[in-house]
Amino acid sequence: MKTYIILFFTIIAIVIFNTGCNFSNDSNQIENDSLNNIDLNGEHSKKVKKIFYNVPSPIEMTAVIQKSGTEYKPEILNSYKFAGKYIKVPKQALILGVYGSDLSYVRLFDQIQLSINYLSSIKKLCDELNIPEEQGSFAISRMETNMDNRDSLLQIITETYASADLYLKENERGNTATLIILGGWIEALYISTTIVDFDLEQNKAIINRIAEQKYSLSNLVELLKSYPEDKDLQEYLPLLEDLKLKYELVQIDYVKGNVVTEKDKKLTTINSTAITKMSKTSFEDIKASILSIRNKIVNI
Amino acid sequence: MNSILKKVAIVAMAIVFPFIVNAQCKGFTKKECMPSLKPYVYNGQLNSAVLNEGDVAELLLTFYSGQDYRIFVCAQDMLGNIEFKLLDTDRNTIFYNKDHDLVKFWDFKSNSTQQLIVQVRVPVAEVKSEIVQSGCVSILAGFKE
């Protein structure tokens, strides 16, 4: 009888264990039935077992700001001093993403002291999120000696966020990693829409980059959908769906060109062109939506 | 009683094992794959999974205009040479590593921002075996400023 009781509780424990893990499982790796007819190698159709969705990093998104010559506006950022005011884990993860974008922005203007301040706040949040020092913020200890140039800082930011993402997914906390991505993407778009003047010709590259987020937004929405049981992520889904509706009015006309592969360089160049059309009204609508989501994120 | 406990242990192992393997997969990616992406900057998002032979996985990502990208497909040796393709959203093939000696990484540049798909496939073993080979596969994306 005792054996059966042990057996019963073992099975229950296993079921709970699995449910718990699935809840926070690295489920941006979802199974998908809609994508079939994969014809690799000319064989029978194969079903896609896993689909991953990537969102451009804040560094990629903000790179265009540097070239546009826009004025430096640190006052629009979420202050590094607020780090200690975020108590709950989901908020801390979102703000970790926000600070990543803020840091990417100040880095572009070579603001060394402010960069150190943001990195210290990032370290604090990593600690709060139980991301171990050697994984999530090991790079911080190097900052004093390595902050002399923009490239070193890029390395530190990249290592810090990549290690945090890896650690969280390694520990079945993919939902927390997704909150960081969400916070970072929204903040980068908030910075871009806030610093830009729609009517200025020299801002055209940033305006185009904002319009092009139509693609990344779709990936982000799918990423959030892959955590259906995470209420914190699902809370943002309707807001992103609403933003997606506004992005529907952004038109990207894509003209395919030739593809050139240089075997010796191991490089393929895709010579396509894209014409992006976004009206000022659409821009203002998108900007307002982004501001609203951003305020919800940074609100203490 | 011992026999029942053994069965319980086997069932428990069978259920818990995938989670252990999954964690090991992330460790493999960190040690064996990430360093090979340099000098490209890793985009910070881990795309790794335990796949069986014959499995197909896809990564959807955005390439920005004028930026250089590296796609690196990294897998455990027992899986053999992994095939990978870069597709556009109409599923036209832009690059197929089978045309280039099943190379593990390739660099890309796009003149316009676009959504692209990296599709990977684990080969099926030529010699049929009752044991299906499975192992860790990672798709890493890096960029240059």
Does the beta carbon of B93 lie under 8 angstroms from any beta carbon of chain A?
no
pLDDT at A136: 43
Does the beta carbon of A124 lie under 8 angstroms from any beta carbon of chain B?
no
Does the beta carbon of A107 lie under 8 angstroms from any beta carbon of chain B?
no
Does the beta carbon of A273 lie under 8 angstroms from any beta carbon of chain B?
yes
Do the chains contact at A6 and B8, CB–CB below 8 Å?
Answer: yes
Does the beta carbon of B132 lie under 8 angstroms from any beta carbon of chain A?
no
pLDDT at A171: 87
* Smallest Cα distance from A154 to chain B, Å: 9
Tens-place pLDDT, residues B86-108: 999 999 999 999 999 999 999 99
- Nearest alpha carbon to residue A149 among A103, A181, A111: A111
Does the beta carbon of A260 lie under 8 angstroms from any beta carbon of chain B?
no
Tens-place pLDDT, residues B108-145: 999 999 999 999 999 988 777 777 789 999 999 999 87
**The complex's ipTM?**
0.85
Closest residue in A to B58 (Cα–Cα): A51
Q: Strand, helix or coil at A109?
A: coil
Which CATH number fits the domain that encloses residue B140? 2.60.120.380
- Determine the structural domain holding residue B33 and report its residue range: 2-144
What's the N-to-C CA distance of chain B in angstroms? 64
Domain ranges of chain A: 58-231+248-298
**Which of B56, B59, B109 is closest, CB to CB, to A52?**
B59
pLDDT at B19: 52
**Long-range contacts of A275-280, Cβ-Cβ distance < 8 Å, separation of 24 or more:** A276/A208, A276/A211, A276/A212, A276/A250, A276/A251, A276/A252, A277/A211, A277/A250, A277/A251, A277/A252, A277/A253, A278/A207, A278/A210, A278/A211, A278/A249, A278/A250, A278/A251, A279/A249, A280/A198, A280/A199
Phi, psi angles (nearest 5°) of residue B59:
-125, 125
Closest residue in B to A215 (Cα–Cα): B115
Do the chains contact at A154 and B145, CB–CB below 8 Å?
Answer: yes
Mean pLDDT, chain A cut into blocks of 10 residues (300 residues total): 53 40 33 38 60 90 83 96 96 97 93 91 93 59 62 81 87 94 97 95 93 95 96 97 97 92 96 94 98 96
